[in-house]
C-alpha cells in the first residue's frame, strides 16, 4: 500500500488527492492543510467581500467530512507541514491546536502550498486596517472592518486582476475607492490599449486611479503616501501587489528552485526528488507560446497540474503541456480577457516578428437588438499565420471568443483555421461571420499579402500619409491629428489628390472601409496599408 501525503488542501492539493483516490483505491492518502478549510473557492473571495456571494458557507466547496466519506481521504486541517526529511521520507507536522509535532511517513509527497500575497516591508504596512486577500479569514476581516468603522473610503494598492475585482466589490458596498498602481496601466498582463479601456471603465464608475504611483508608506490614521507625494486618507487599505510562491518547505528540503523562485518541476510535475511532486502557484511553468519559464497564479493550471501529478504518482504517462495565461475579469459589466502571448511578453521573449490586427465587431448580428462591440486583438506569426495570442474587451461575448481562441492556440492553429471555423450562429449569439472568423480573415489577408498593415507608431513618427476614408461628419467628430479626409465613396474619382511616392496609412472607424479603400488603392498602384482597428483603436491607444 502506498502512503501519499499532500501538503495544501485547496485548488491543487484537493484536486490531486481526489484524483489519486480515483486511480488507486488502496493508497493511504493524507492532506495536510494549515488553515481551517479545505477546497474552498478562493476565486469567489472578492465577491464574498462585496456580498455578491452572501454566505461564507457558499465558498466551502467540500469539507474534511466529505473527503473522508466520499474518498476515504484523511484531511487534517490546522496541521502545518514544518519540514521534509527526504532521506527518512517523512514530513514533520505541527498540529496548530495543541502545538504538538509528529512525523508522517510517505512513499509519495505532493507539495501544493500555493503562493502568499506580497507585503513589502514599508512603514505602516502592519497597521490595523491594512489587509491582503488570500483566505476566507482575510475576507472576513475586511468585511468586519467595513462594518466596524463604517468605512467610507478604501485604497486598493495594485491594479491586477484580484485588486480590481476587489475595487468593484468595494464600490458595490458604497465605498469611495482609490487605486494606486506603480505601472503606467492597469492589468499588466494585457497590452496598454486593452488596459486603457478598463481604466476608462473604472473612472466612469468613480474610481480614482493613480497610475505610475508606487506605495511609499501608510501613516497612522490610515493615510496612504505615494511616490508622487500624494496622500490618500482611507478607512481601509487592501494590498494587492501580486503573490510569491510558498517555497520555504521545498527550499529547506534542498529541492531545486527555478530562476523565478518557484519550485522546479518536469512535465510530470516531479521535483528534483523522485518521490516529491509539486503543483499550483508554487511551481515554475513554461509558456506554450514564448517558451519562457515563469510563475502563473491561476486556478485552471493548478487543477490540471494536480491531475498530471496524480497520474504520474500512479504510473500513468501524463504530461503537463504548459500554460498559455488564459485569464478573464469582469468590471462593472465590462469583460476583459486574454490568452497566449501579449505584445509585451513577445517583446520580452525576443519574439519580435509578429503581426497584430485589431477589430471591433459586434458581439452578435447588428440587425438583432442589443448588439455591443467587442474590441478584439489578435497576434499571429506573419509568415505562416500561427496564432500567438488574443485579447478582447467588451460588454458581451468576450468570454466565448477568447475561449475559442484559447482552444485554437492550444491546438497550434493558424489564422487560416480561424477563417474556416464553423461556429454557432443565430442572431442573438453571433454573426454568420463571427468575430473569430473575422479576425482570422483579416489576419489571413495579411499573411496572403492581400492586405498590408501600417503600424500605429508610423502614425506618430513615420513618413506616411494618414488617409481617413470616413464621412466628413465622422471626421469632424474626431480624427487622428495628421489625417486628411477622403471619404470612400469619393475615392475612385479623387485618386489624383493622393501621392504615389508616399506610404498611405488608410484609416476608418473600425477597419472595414479602410480595407476596401486599401484594396482599391493598391490595385491602382498606390502603396497602401491599413491602420487596423481604425480610429477606435487610435482612441484606445491614446486614452
Q: Which residues are catalytic?
A: 43
Residue 263 C-beta: closest distance to ligand FAD, Å: 10
Query: Residue 52 in contact with residue 342, Cβ under 8 Å?
Result: no
- By the rule CB under 6 A, 162 interacts with ligand FAD: yes
Helix (H, G, I), strand (E, B) or coil at 400: helix
- Interface with ligand FAD, residue 491, by CB under 6 A: no
Antiparallel, parallel or unpaired: β 223-226 and 231-233:
antiparallel
Nearer to ligand FAD, 323 or 444 (CB): 323
Binding window for ligand FAD (CB under 6 A); candidates: 37-45, 177-185, 477-485, 530-538 = 37-45
Segment contacting ligand FAD by CB under 6 A, of 3-11, 102-110, 231-239, 351-359? 3-11
61 binds ligand FAD per the rule CB under 6 A: no
The three cell numbers locating residue 94: 505541527
Backbone angles phi, psi at 11, to 5 degrees: -55, -60
Give the separation between CA 374 and CA 334, rounded to whole angstroms: 10
Rg value, the chain, Cα: 26
> Minimum CB separation from ligand FAD for residue 215, in Å?
19
Number of residues that bind ligand FAD (CB under 6 A): 32
Of 30, 64, 71, 113, the one binding ligand FAD (CB under 6 A) is: 113
Q: Which stretch binds ligand FAD (CB under 6 A): 43-51, 184-192, 465-473, 529-537?
A: 43-51
Q: Closest CB to ligand FAD among 168 and 193?
A: 168
Establish if 13 lies at the interface with ligand FAD (CB under 6 A): yes
- Identify the three-state secondary structure at position 225: strand
Nearer to ligand FAD, 140 or 519 (CB): 140
Identify the three-state secondary structure at position 6. strand
- Grid cell for residue 368: 438583432
DSSP 164-201: HHHHHHHHHTT-EEEEEESSSSSSTTS-HHHHHHHHHH
Sole window of 6-14, 173-181, 385-393, 498-506 interacting with ligand FAD (rule: CB under 6 A): 6-14
Tell me whether residue 463 is exposed, middle or buried, using C-beta atoms within 10 angstroms of its C-beta: 0 to 12, 13 to 18, 19 or more: exposed
Query: Is residue 92 close enough to count as binding ligand FAD by CB under 6 A?
Result: no
From the centroid of its chain, how far is CA 341?
11
Interaction of residue 280 with ligand FAD, rule CB under 6 A:
yes
With binding defined as CB under 6 A, does residue 134 bind ligand FAD? yes
Alpha carbons 466 and 529: distance in angstroms, whole number: 10
Q: How far is CA 305 from CA 33, 37, 114, 259, in A?
A: 19, 21, 13, 20
Report the residue number whose CB is nearest to ligand FAD.
280
d(CA 14, CA 485): 61
Taking the complex as a whole, how short is the minimal distance between the CB of residue 154 and ligand FAD, in angstroms? 15
By CB under 6 A, name the binding residues for ligand FAD: 7-8, 10-13, 32-35, 42-43, 45-46, 80-81, 112-114, 133-134, 162, 246, 249, 280-282, 297-300, 302
Amino acid at each position: 500500500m502506498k502512503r501519499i501525503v499532500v501538503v495544501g488542501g485547496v485548488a491543487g492539493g484537493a484536486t490531486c488527492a481526489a484524483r489519486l483516490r480515483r486511480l488507486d483505491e488502496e493508497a493511504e492518502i493524507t492532506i495536510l492543510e494549515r488553515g481551517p478549510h479545505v477546497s474552498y473557492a478562493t476565486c469567489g473571495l472578492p465577491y464574498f467581500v462585496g456580498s455578491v456571494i452572501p454566505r461564507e458557507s457558499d465558498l466551502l466547496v467540500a469539507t474534511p467530512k466529505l473527503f473522508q466519506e466520499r474518498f476515504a481521504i484523511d484531511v487534517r486541517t490546522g496541521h502545518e507541514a514544518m519540514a521534509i526529511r527526504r532521506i527518512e521520507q517523512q514530513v514533520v507536522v505541527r498540529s496548530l491546536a495543541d502545538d504538538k509535532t509528529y512525523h508522517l511517513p510517505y512513499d509519495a509527497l505532493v507539495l501544493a502550498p500555493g503562493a502568499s500575497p506580497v507585503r513589502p516591508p514599508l512603514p505602516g504596512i502592519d497597521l490595523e486596517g491594512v489587509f491582503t486577500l488570500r483566505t476566507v479569514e482575510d475576507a472576513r476581516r475586511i468585511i468586519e472592518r467595513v462594518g466596524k468603522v463604517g468605512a467610507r473610503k478604501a485604497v486598493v494598492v495594485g491594479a491586477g486582476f484580484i485588486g480590481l475585482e476587489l475595487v468593484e466589490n468595494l464600490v458595490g458596498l458604497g465605498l469611495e475607492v482609490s487605486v494606486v498602481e506603480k505601472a503606467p496601466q492597469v492589468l499588466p498582463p494585457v497590452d496598454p490599449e486593452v488596459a486603457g479601456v478598463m481604466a476608462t471603465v473604472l473612472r466612469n464608475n468613480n474610481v480614482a486611479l493613480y497610475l505610475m504611483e508606487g506605495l511609499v508608506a501608510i501613516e497612522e490614521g490610515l493615510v496612504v503616501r505615494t511616490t508622487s507625494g500624494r496622500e490618500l486618507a482611507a478607512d481601509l487599505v487592501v494590498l494587492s501587489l501580486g503573490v510569491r510562491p510558498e517555497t520555504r518547505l521545498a527550499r529547506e528540503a534542498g529541492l531545486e528552485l527555478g530562476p523565478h523562485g518557484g519550485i522546479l518541476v518536469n512535465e510530470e510535475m516531479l521535483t528534483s526528488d523522485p518521490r516529491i511532486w509539486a503543483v499550483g502557484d508554487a511551481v515554475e511553468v513554461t509558456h506554450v507560446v514564448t517558451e519562457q519559464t515563469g510563475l502563473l497564479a491561476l486556478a485552471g493550471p493548478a487543477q490540471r497540474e494536480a491531475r498530471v501529478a496524480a497520474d504520474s504518482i500512479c504510473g500513468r504517462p501524463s504530461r503537463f503541456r504548459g500554460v498559455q495565461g488564459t485569464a478573464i475579469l469582469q468590471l462593472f459589466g465590462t469583460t476583459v480577457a486574454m490568452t497566449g502571448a501579449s505584445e509585451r511578453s513577445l517583446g520580452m521573449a525576443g519574439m519580435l516578428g509578429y503581426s497584430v490586427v485589431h477589430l471591433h465587431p459586434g458581439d452578435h448580428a447588428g440587425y438583432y437588438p442589443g448588439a455591443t462591440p467587442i474590441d478584439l486583438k489578435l497576434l499571429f506569426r506573419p509568415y505562416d499565420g500561427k496564432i500567438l495570442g488574443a485579447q478582447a474587451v467588451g460588454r458581451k461575448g468576450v468570454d466565448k471568443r477568447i475561449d475559442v481562441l484559447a482552444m485554437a492556440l492550444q491546438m497550434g492553429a493558424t489564422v487560416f483555421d480561424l477563417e474556416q471555423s464553423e461556429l454557432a450562429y443565430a442572431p442573438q449569439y453571433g454573426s454568420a461571420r463571427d468575430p473569430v472568423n473575422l479576425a482570422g480573415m483579416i489576419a489571413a489577408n495579411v499573411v496572403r499579402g492581400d492586405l498590408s498593415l501600417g503600424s500605429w507608431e508610423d502614425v506618430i513618427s513615420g513618413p506616411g500619409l494618414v488617409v481617413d476614408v470616413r464621412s466628413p461628419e465622422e471626421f469632424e467628430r474626431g480624427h487622428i491629428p495628421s489625417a486628411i479626409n477622403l471619404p470612400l465613396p469619393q475615392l475612385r474619382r479623387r485618386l489624383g489628390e493622393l501621392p504615389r511616392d508616399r506610404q498611405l496609412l488608410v484609416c476608418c472607424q473600425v477597419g472595414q472601409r479602410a480595407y476596401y479603400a486599401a484594396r482599391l488603392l493598391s490595385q491602382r498602384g498606390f502603396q497602401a496599408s491599413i491602420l487596423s482597428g481604425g480610429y477606435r483603436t487610435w482612441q484606445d491607444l491614446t486614452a
